[in-house]
Chains A and B, each alone.
Chain A
Amino acid sequence: MLTIKNLTKMYDQNVIFKNLNLTVKEGEVLSIVGPSGIGKTTLIKIMAGLEPANSGEITINNEAISIDGERSDANIGLIFQDFNLFPNFTVMDNITLAPINVNKVPAEKAKEQALSLLESLGMADKADLYPYQLSGGQKQRVAIARALAMSPKILAYDEPTSGLDESSTKQVAEVVKTLKSRGVTQVIITHDQFFAEIVSDRIFDFAKEVVR
């Protein structure tokens, strides 16, 4: 379970959000919606340890995680808007690089795990391709597999449907549902109300619930 308590983020004197409170239950899919530029991405970056918050608290399963922006523990997997795959590695290596180098998983085991992740995402035949050879939707699934390979406690998406056509959007929705059925807790940042409604258990309206 993820709990955010009284989280405040300011740039200089500019309040992005103030005393934000939010809970995501185990296995839940929560969408955070709101217009662009409102601070949703900032929130997800703070959760992932990429940006510091000014005050407040984030806990995962009642354990506080640091919010100084210096954390680097793969507790929260993040699917970036433009995926940020590593162009110099194949799909397989993109997925196994972190398990092998960070978690010291034996290469063979990491490969097996990556292959089963790719299979579950319908991408097993793409293991030896490089990112530039993939479509947007395929890159996204590689990004999902790469994040899941580190067994994060929460999987977060930043605008997963931006730049995708209708059929790719449906595929993302399928992936989210498949992962939900496997018990993965997911947080989705989106301005796509329709997508949010079809995939989430609960919608958090950033504009309404956040004090600025």
Chain B
Amino acid sequence: MSYLATILPSLLSGLKMTLGIFFLTIIGSVPLGIIVSLGLKSPYFTIRWLINGYIWIMRGTPLLLQLIFIYYGLGMIGVTFPRFEAAIIAFIINYAAYLAEIFRGGLQAIPVGQYDAAKVLGFNKFQTFFKIILPQVIKIVVPSFGNEVINLVKDTSLVYVIGLGDMLRAGNIAASRDVTLMPYLLVGLIYLLMTAIVTLLLRRSEKVLNTWR
């Protein structure tokens, strides 16, 4: 116990980094994902082509590689970001690509009749999307969105590759310094706790959304 108390402060400061990346990624990737999913339905071929290329690259290469590329690779051609900002950019554009595909599925599930009904009642396209379509899309995508959020909790540990000190890295340092697996065990428990909270929140939001069908 007393050993755990000695390593806890360093794990908690790593947790701060983990949570920072987690929340900033969600805040950035959700709106970007929605915009990208709308772009996928653009009438212009060039826009659809570009967006499909972006999604292909983001989903087709490891996030680890994208982190390295944005921090070190762009640095080599003169575009430099501080480590934390580079990590946030990589996570946001990566997760936005996955979320865009999820939102696209949700958008496709909305019957044309909903758009027709809105148009006949005089709603403009903006009102139709935000008042009528988006709430229905959100209800449809919550379960798959939850999956991505839980993945994100764990993916945050990848930032070690560009030298950021997250929780797993703090545990790693303690484990190799003190030659014990205990820090890893504690780190695992904290990840489990985080995913449990996320799961609970998602369940609750599903329940709220189930007041209508």
Could you tell me which A residues sit within 8 Å of B by CB distance?
Answer: 48-50, 72-74, 76-78, 80, 82, 84-89, 97-98, 101-103, 130-132, 146-147, 150
* In the assembled complex, B213 has its CB within 8 A of some CB on chain A: yes
How many Å lie between the Cα of A73 and that of B124 in the bound state? 10
A80 touches B116 (CB 8 A): yes
* In the assembled complex, B10 has its CB within 8 A of some CB on chain A: no
B122 touches A73 (CB 8 A): yes
Query: Which of B114, B122, B131 sits near A150, CB closer than 8 Å?
Result: B122
Given A80-B117, A87-B213, A132-B212, A98 and B136 touching (CB < 8 A)? Answer: no
Residues of B contacting A76 in the complex (Cβ-Cβ under 8 angstroms): 120
In the complex, how many residues of chain B place their beta carbon closer than 8 angstroms to a beta carbon of chain A? 20
How many Å lie between the Cα of A182 and that of B196 in the bound state? 59
How many residue pairs bridge A and B at CB < 8 Å? 66
Task: State the main secondary structure of chain B at its contact with A.
Answer: helix
* In the assembled complex, B13 has its CB within 8 A of some CB on chain A: no
Residues of B contacting A101 in the complex (Cβ-Cβ under 8 angstroms): 123, 127, 131
A82 touches B113 (CB 8 A): yes
A88 touches B122 (CB 8 A): no
Given A72-B123, A102-B122, A130 and B131 touching (CB < 8 A)? Answer: no
A97 touches B131 (CB 8 A): yes
Given contacts A74-B121, A87-B213, 10 further A-B contacts (CB under 8 A): A72-B124, A73-B122, A76-B120, A78-B120, A84-B113, A84-B114, A88-B132, A98-B122, A103-B122, A132-B213
Residues of A contacting B212 in the complex (Cβ-Cβ under 8 angstroms): 87-89, 130-132
How many Å lie between the Cα of A88 and that of B179 in the bound state? 56
